[in-house]
Amino acid sequence: MTTSTIESHESAHELGNSDLKLKDIIKSLPRECFEQNRRKAWTKVLLSVSMVCLGYFSLIIAPWFLLPLAWIFTGTALTGFFVIGHDCAHRSFAKRRWVNDLVGHLIMMPLIYPFHSWRIQHNYHHAHTNKLDEDNAWQPISTTLYESCGKIKQWGFKAFLRYRLWWIGSIIHCGVLHFNWSLFQKKDQASVKFSVAVVVLFAAIAFPILIATTGIWGFVKFWLLPWLVYHFWMSTFTLVHHTAPDVPFVAESKWNQAIAQLNGTVHCDYPSWVEILCHDINVHVPHHISTAIPSYNLRMAYGSIKENWQTYLHDECRFSFSLMKRITDQCHLYRADSGYQSFKDYFAGR
């Protein structure tokens, strides 16, 4: 770990002792940031549905050599479905709960993503953002955990982190956490079971029909590969939002909610077409200040946050494979006292 990384890590810990409260930041935001606009919300739905339909039309007519571009476009447009479901989960899509739940289930259904399972666990992430051993979105692997694992699991950790496999992270996360209702409190299990039943029923009907009409290749072409592109973006957004060599995960005794949301959430700019199709989910700091801010107001809120709280914000970055290489090269294991450590440095120090 470099000296600058350690200094940044220690500086963030010092910020964690600040008396700043999340309510102070929320009060500084323009009231317009929290206003729900039915026209804007449903325009987002119309845009996503139109772009997904365009994507599937392109898969039908595209010659074989253009299929990769069509898969990338369609999968990215499907990610817009998730972002709308994301608003529904935070009740910022519509004022009526039943509308949020209905749209959330319908829009996440083709993604095979159980709405209530994700909603409940994602809210836990917001309550414990970058809290060591608590945050459930992308918790770093501690050296203690790594050393306590067997050889096979250690190999799995190394393969996942060193060989650029971050893009399957959300698939593993969903499969392990979102279909197991025993992980939830009893009061939530009925809702989780319902959401799991919805996506299982969708898959049980849609997949056989797709295979019967287009064959196994049609299933791969029209569902599997766009779905993998969607998970590439899901995994990438989640990783980049809260992971950098100088972004700390802080023990509960030192954790400050306001600082965690400001300094532990990274703003990353993506190509404009990705930001449009994904409804500005990359403008993520305001969303962590208040989940009540709809996606179409995130840029307005971020402008206010930069104006009033710039000192606390992490440096912005721009998406590139060099950025992903830097994260996946350095952010391997984690020590509470010094931050991230690469496997190379870990084994060199043993």
Which DSSP string corresponds to 298-322?
HHHHHHHHHHHHGGGSPPPEE--HH
Per-residue pLDDT tens listing for the chain (350 residues): 333 443 444 454 455 556 889 999 999 999 999 999 999 999 999 999 999 999 999 999 999 999 999 999 999 999 999 999 999 999 999 999 999 999 999 999 999 999 999 999 999 899 999 998 888 887 888 888 899 988 898 888 877 766 678 898 899 889 988 999 999 999 999 999 999 999 999 999 999 999 999 999 999 999 999 999 999 999 999 999 999 999 989 888 889 999 999 999 999 999 999 999 999 999 999 999 999 999 999 999 999 999 999 999 999 999 998 999 999 899 989 988 888 998 888 888 77
Token pair listed for 160: 């996942």
Looking at the DSSP bridge assignments, the partners of residue 142 are: 334
How long, in residues, is the chain?
A: 350
**Cα 94 → chain centroid:** 21
Between the CA of residue 337 and those of 13, 107, 329, what are the distances in Å? 10, 42, 20
For residue 5, the model assigns a pLDDT of 40
Which residue, 323, 240, 245, is CA-closest to 12?
A: 245
CA 294, 297, 301, 302 dihedral sign is positive
| Cβ-contact 48, 80 below 8 angstroms | yes
pLDDT for position 220: 98
Q: Which two tokens stand for residue 262?
A: 């400001």
Relative to beta strand 317-318, strand 268-269 is: parallel
Residues 6+ apart with CB under 8 A from 113: 82, 85, 174, 178, 199
The pLDDT, as a whole number, for residue 163 is 65
228: which 2 tokens? 């993998």
| Neighbour count for residue 59 (Cβ, 10 Å) | 19
- Whole-number pLDDT of residue 140: 87
pTM of the model: 0.91
